[in-house]
């Protein structure tokens, strides 16, 4: 892909991504507005204002952290698409990372950008179809197998840890030195703050991973430089 074609592609990604994200935001506000107009039932502005005063700062922080975190991992196209379709941390992110790993491409390269976007798009379509089929097929039995006392309840409660465990295991084996810092920092954060938001925790562990990688790089690179200088 030439530089001109690459720039044109990224320009379109940002234009379409911005349009669809604003369209999704408009739809989110339109649905409750339509229900309020239809049933003439409006929320208490005082109570809503007090609730928003507590929630908005938290979600603004999380939103900024997620943008900073996800874009380097799955690229601009994958991030825009994930923000529209949702379910990022437990589905879209692992799907994009796994697809790039399988294709042996790196994030934020031209190839990685395309692979990540396609994989997340296919994931979104597949998820929609599976949910539709699941709702129709399992709606009668789902309350029973997820109810208290069901032998399947524990499995449903651990789907996300199992997904990330399976995905993370391959990375830990290949890059075990880089895994120490984020895992240790993540465990420490959860010990002292078990209710830490997933987006915040991911951002913290990524920073820890970058710092750990920098320390390992300097530890391996500096001795080589010194040996070369001593030989000269």
Q: Contact, 78 vs 96, CB < 8 A? A: yes
Q: Is residue 16 domain-shared with residue 116, that is, in the same domain?
A: yes
Nearest residue to 86 (alpha-carbon basis) of 52, 60, 123: 123
Report the distance separating Cα 73 and Cα 197, nearest Å.
Answer: 19
Q: Is residue 95 domain-shared with residue 17, that is, in the same domain?
A: yes
Look up the domain containing 64 and give its range: 1-139
**What angle do helix axes 45-85 and 110-138 make, rounded to 10 degrees?**
120
Q: Is residue 179 domain-shared with residue 135, that is, in the same domain?
A: no
With 0.85 as the threshold, say if the pTM is over it: no
Q: What is the percentage of the chain residues whose pLDDT exceeds 70?
A: 90
For 19-77, how does the pLDDT look when each residue is reduced to its tens digit (9 = 90+)?
A: 988 998 898 889 889 988 988 888 888 888 887 777 777 777 777 877 888 888 888 88
From 139, 160, 192, the end of a domain falls on 139
Sign of CA dihedral 195, 200, 22, 79: negative
Residue 221 located in a structural domain: yes
For 180-212, how does the pLDDT look when each residue is reduced to its tens digit (9 = 90+)?
A: 888 888 889 888 888 877 767 877 888 888 888
Q: Is residue 37 domain-shared with residue 129, that is, in the same domain?
A: yes
Based on C-alpha coordinates, what's the Rg of the chain? 22
Q: Is residue 20 domain-shared with residue 101, that is, in the same domain?
A: yes
Nearest residue to 81 (alpha-carbon basis) of 128, 14, 132: 14
Tally of structural domains, the chain: 2
Q: Is residue 123 domain-shared with residue 183, that is, in the same domain?
A: no
Residue 145 located in a structural domain: no
Q: Is residue 61 domain-shared with residue 127, that is, in the same domain?
A: yes
Residue 166, token pair as written in the block:
């399976």
Q: Is residue 56 domain-shared with residue 133, that is, in the same domain?
A: yes
Whole-number pLDDT of residue 225: 44
Q: Contact, 107 vs 100, CB < 8 A? A: yes
Contacts of 220 (CB under 8 A, 6+ apart): none
């Amino acid at each position: 892909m030439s530089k001109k074609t690459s720039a044109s592609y990224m320009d379109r990604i940002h234009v379409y991504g911005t349009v669809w994200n604003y369209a999704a935001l408009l739809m989110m506000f339109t649905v409750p507005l339509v229900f309020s107009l239809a049933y003439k039932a409006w929320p208490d502005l005082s109570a809503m204002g007090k609730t928003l005063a507590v929630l908005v700062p938290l979600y603004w922080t999380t939103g900024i952290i997620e943008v900073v975190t996800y874009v380097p991992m799955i690229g601009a196209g994958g991030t825009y698409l994930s923000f529209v379709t949702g379910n990022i941390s437990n589905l879209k992110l692992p799907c994009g990372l796994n697809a790039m790993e399988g294709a042996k491409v790196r994030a934020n390269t031209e190839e990685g950008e395309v692979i990540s976007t396609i994989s997340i798009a296919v994931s979104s379509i597949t998820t929609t179809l599976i949910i539709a089929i699941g709702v129709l097929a399992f709606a009668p039995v789902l309350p029973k197998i997820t109810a208290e006392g069901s032998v399947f309840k524990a499995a449903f409660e651990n789907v996300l840890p199992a997904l990330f465990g399976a995905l993370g295991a391959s990375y830990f084996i290949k890059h075990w030195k880089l895994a120490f810092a984020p895992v240790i920092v993540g465990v420490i954060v959860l010990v002292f703050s078990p209710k830490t938001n997933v987006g915040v925790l991911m951002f913290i562990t990524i920073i820890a991973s970058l710092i750990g990688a920098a320390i390992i790089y300097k530890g391996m690179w500096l001795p080589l430089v010194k040996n070369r200088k001593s030989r000269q």
